[in-house]
Structure 1
Amino acid sequence: MPDTPLVSVYIATHNRADLLSRAIDSVLNQSYKNIEIIVVDDGSIDQTPQRLEQLSIKIDNLKHFRFEEARGACAARNLAIQEASGQFVTGLDDDDEFLPNRIEEFVRNYSPEYSFICSTHYSRIDHQLVPSPLQKREVSLSDFKKKNYCQNLFAERSRVLSIGGYDTTLPAWQDYDFSFRLCEKFGVALKLDNCSYIVDCTAADQRISTSPKTLEGYRMFMEKHGHKLTTAEKDMQLANSLFNRRVSTTFIECFTKVHYNPARYKLFKLYVLTHYPRLYYFLVHTARHWTNFTAKK
């Protein structure tokens, strides 16, 4: 592998002209410079087409394409990956940001023994950056059968193409399905503990997570992969789906809906969150500070 392989960053965008500029700037500010940026406009009706035309005049390594009618983020990502020239590809959502060392860290830590690399991230909540914990450094298929550990991963383009890219039939859970299939075909993934990505947690994101599409995505994911899962793994998938959609659960249901203890614990957290939200966030805040305190000792 060359010391500085070309990395293609793909961005699917829809009606977010102002935020898109911020996302692109975060790629231009990378410490690693051998990058191309590929943006696919998924049928935007705001100023996105004009903004991309203006940016492409100033940015030599920016390529952009457009669907006249919206086909969904996954179709846009697949087009970007097909048009990419890089040995590696990685995604960026149009309302999120890379931190400056993200691509450099991915290239430096890459090894073909891993199916892909991902990282911990920051969540921007009320103008504060909240770091995600590193739960596992090496993530196996067995881990992925219980939950999704990765988003906007870094992988060889040839591997992504070999699994057919993103599944455009799924209304939700597309990133999870994408990671799952890569890990299924190419083995263990590596997760870096460097929080090199900022997720913008807005009200729009919350609407998406609680929309009917999320439930349908879970159901379709289980139809596609459920036969590969044990009963315990199915319990975890159900618990994660209920938690992500903030479905109110009774105390008794924490123990009767599922029988796998980690899934019961997840439902108990959901019970506390939906019935005693102030207590839940107090406990989360306390646990986070305790973790930071013990890590510094």
Structure 2
Amino acid sequence: MKPKVSIVFSTYNNSECIEKCLESCLKQSYANVDVIIADDGSTDDTTLRIHRLARQADKRVRVLQLSHGERGIARVAAVQEAKQEAADYILIIDSDMILEEGMIDHLMDAVMNTEVGAYIIPEEAFTTYRNFFSKVKVFERNIINNAGEDVGKRSIEAARFWKMSEYISTGGFNAGQISFEEIQPTLRYLEKGGKVKRAVHTRLYHDEKKVLLRELLAKKAYYFTAMDRTLSSESGGFRKALERWYFFRPVLYRKDNIKRYMRHPLLFTGMIFMYGCLSFLGIYGIVKGRIARSNRFVQTEKIK
């Protein structure tokens, strides 16, 4: 029997993409793979679509029905289920991703008999929408993902394919974090000397869907309000965040990415504008969060 691989992801009201995602998981040719989905209380027909496909997949798909909470809680539940099912490896994806054919086979060939404990999988962003900021977001994500095979300490990418024992050694996701929880296990693993590589021989296709600037900023503003909690939950959290802040990411200054900026000046301008807006929101959110935490501390002291 080949080692067991569990593909795990959470989903919430994502009926637009869920079928393509799940179909790509079920089409994997690797012999011993299952899919664990934590549904975070979807109110549309997401779960209906999942169960319709799951009926055709025998016991390879398990759905955890959760009440709506934070994304991190659903992810932790899916990973915990994979642990209980004695998975040897886990592939952690998002429900708007599509796996390349033969991905699990490629990853298993790469990881066997190596000291690499986790792999970052390059993502190729795409969208079927033609509005400006949908194009900008796809351009930006493909710039970030053009980073070569080696993983630097200032990488912002999260490892998605793990030896289960190595993932457990990191402590896994912190369910209480609302922002940037996805990358924390990777950062902790690198800090303790773990080996992470980028799996340049395969890829994930990431559907960015329709991106409107106002909706993007509103979503990020929510995450940034919890940023102070995220920074305080990790040792050296503020330093780590600053090193990986939008304009400080080394991948942006790779020679071949600079050539892309020159070929697409309008999209590059849109990306810089988007980063400027997000940086302002981030600073505001961090300051607001620290003030709120300070006020709570003062009130607690008064009660004492």
Q: TM-score, normalised by structure 1?
A: 0.70
**Partners of 2:271 and 2:156 in 1: CA distance:** 23
| 1:18-68 deviation per Cα after TM superposition (whole angstroms, max 9, x unaligned) | 42111100111223232101111111111233333333321111111101x
The CA RMSD measured in Å over matched residues stands at 3.6
Contact 1:89 1:154 in 2 (8 A): yes
- Equivalence for 1:51: 49
Are the structure 2 counterparts of residues 186 and 65 from structure 1 closer, same or farther at C-alpha, using a change threshold of 3 Å? Answer: farther
Are the structure 2 counterparts of residues 263 and 10 from structure 1 closer, same or farther at C-alpha, using a change threshold of 3 Å? Answer: closer
- Equivalence for 1:106: 107
The structure 1 residue matched to 2:203, chosen from 196, 210, 213, is 196
Matches within 5 A, 1:138-153: 138-139=150-151, 143-144=152-153, 146-151=154-159, 153=160
Q: Compute the displacement of 1:163 (Å).
A: 3.1
**Partners of 1:5 and 1:93 in 2: CA distance:** 23
Matches within 5 A, 1:1-297: 4-60=2-58, 61-67=60-66, 69-84=67-82, 85=85, 86-110=87-111, 111=113, 113-126=115-128, 133-139=145-151, 143-144=152-153, 146-151=154-159, 153-185=160-192, 187-203=194-210, 207-208=215-216, 211-216=220-225, 218-225=227-234, 227=236, 235-237=242-244, 239-240=245-246, 243=247, 278=266, 280=268
Structure with more contact order per residue of length (Cα contacts < 8 Å, sep ≥ 6):
2
Q: Compute the displacement of 1:181 (Å).
A: 2.0
One-letter amino acid of the structure 2 residue matched with residue 109 of structure 1: A
Structure 1 residues 157-166 or 83-92, which shifts more? 157-166
One-letter amino acid of the structure 2 residue matched with residue 93 of structure 1: D
Structure 1 residue runs of 5 or longer lacking an equivalent are 244-259, 285-297
Q: Secondary structure at the match of 1:17?
A: coil
One-letter amino acid of the structure 2 residue matched with residue 117 of structure 1: Y
- Equivalence for 1:292: none
Q: Secondary structure at the match of 1:63?
A: strand
Structure 2 residue runs of 5 or longer lacking an equivalent are 130-134, 273-304
**Partners of 1:101 and 1:40 in 2: CA distance:** 24
One-letter amino acid of the structure 2 residue matched with residue 172 of structure 1: S
Are the structure 2 counterparts of residues 214 and 28 from structure 1 closer, same or farther at C-alpha, using a change threshold of 3 Å? Answer: same
